[in-house]
């Protein structure tokens, strides 16, 4: 997933970011509501984590405006308060879930997975393409019946392509989705990771699952 975390408490924001990235999810953080709203309306995130009490626009204001624009990105609201009226207001404005501080990181990640799946209906636990099988929950990769050990970033790249088999992905698209920051045309990071994945898959079977489309990018099957 590509997730935006809008949280002005730096320790909490970094705590969430570290946990999500360890699971292979691209995570961006910001501590200002106006900036969060700009990012949410200009970037295709898979989910948002919005703290209610933010400088500038508050979390509920961001949510209200997103829904008014028919933006259906899944939103998890964070708050230090647990009043029923506030939770009800969040749900009425279109929040997908609600979590009160303090919280367990494992629960936040599980709730994010749940709302993304529920919202899109297009992210199965198991993604199967040709002789490749990816379990997006356990991060398990199987190729020709053999388990392949992948790093979180390698898995995220392969999963991104597996969601649309046969589609040609440009290096910029892969870079922005998997790494989540502005593309540097001088870097060969995508090429390096594709090569690593090919080498690992090739140790099991010489079949080339990822093909190069000259002058454009890469395609999975």
pTM of the model: 0.59
- Residue 136 shares a structural domain with residue 96: no
Helix axes 105-120, 10-22, angle to 10 degrees: 60
Site of tokens 């939103």: 75
Alpha carbons 18 and 22: distance in angstroms, whole number: 6
Shared-domain flag, residues 91 and 153: no
Domain span at 6: 2-120
Instruction: Write the DSSP assignment of 1-51 as a string of letters.
Output: -EEEEE-S-HHHHHHHHHHHHHTT-EEEEES-HHHHHHHHHHS--SEEEEE
**Residue ending a domain, choose from 58, 85, 120:** 120
pLDDT digits (tens, 9 = 90+) for 133-148: 998 767 899 999 999 9
- Please indicate, yes or no, whether residues 11 and 85 belong to a single structural domain of this protein: yes
Residue 23's pLDDT is what?
84
* C-beta separation of 49 from 3 below 8 A: yes
Answer yes or no: do 144 and 111 share one domain: no
What is the per-residue pLDDT for 158?
95
Residue-wise pLDDT tens digits, 49-85: 999 999 999 999 999 999 999 999 999 999 887 667 7
111 lies in the same domain as 8: yes
Same domain, 39 and 89: yes
Q: State the total domains in the chain.
A: 2
**Which token pair is 62?**
């961001």
For residue 132, name the pLDDT band (cuts at 50, 70, 90).
very high
Q: Is the pLDDT of residue 200 over 80?
A: yes
Q: Are residues 108 and 159 in the same domain?
A: no
Distance of alpha carbon 127 from alpha carbon 108, whole angstroms: 23
Residue 123 confidence (pLDDT) above 60 = no
Look at residue 9 in the predicted model and tell me its pLDDT: 93
| Strand blocks (E) in the chain | 2-6, 26-30, 47-51, 75-79, 97-100, 126-129, 132-135, 140-143, 146-148, 168-170, 210-213, 217-220
CATH of the domain at 138: 1.10.10.10
Average pLDDT in the 190-215 region?
Answer: 94
Question: Same structural domain for residues 116 and 18?
Answer: yes
Both 110 and 205 in one domain: the answer is: no
Asked if residue 34 and residue 111 are part of one domain, the reply reads yes
The answer on 104 and 42 residing in a single domain is yes
Sequence-distant (≥ 6) Cβ neighbours of residue 110 within 8 angstroms = none
């Amino acid at each position: 997933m590509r997730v935006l975390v809008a949280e002005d408490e730096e320790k909490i924001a970094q705590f969430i970011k570290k946990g999500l990235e360890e699971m292979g999810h691209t995570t961006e953080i910001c501590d200002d509501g106006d900036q969060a709203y700009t990012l949410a309306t200009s970037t295709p995130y898979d989910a948002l984590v919005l703290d209610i009490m933010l400088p500038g626009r508050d979390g509920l204001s961001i949510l209200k405006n997103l829904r008014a624009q028919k933006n259906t990105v899944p939103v998890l609201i964070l708050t230090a308060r647990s009043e029923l009226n506030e939770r009800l207001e969040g749900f009425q404005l279109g929040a997908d879930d609600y979590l009160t501080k303090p919280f367990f990181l494992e629960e936040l990640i599980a709730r994010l997975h749940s709302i993304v799946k529920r919202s899109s209906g297009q992210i199965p636990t198991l993604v199967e393409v040709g002789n490749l099988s990816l379990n997006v929950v356990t991060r398990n990769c199987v190729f020709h019946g053999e388990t392949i050990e992948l790093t979180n970033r390698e898995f995220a790249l392969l999963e991104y392509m597996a969601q649309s088999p046969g589609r040609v992905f440009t290096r910029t698209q892969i870079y922005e989705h998997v790494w989540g920051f502005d593309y540097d045309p001088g870097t060969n990071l995508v090429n390096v990771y594709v090569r690593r994945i090919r080498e690992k898959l090739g140790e099991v079977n010489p079949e080339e699952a990822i093909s190069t489309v000259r002058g454009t990018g890469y395609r999975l099957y």
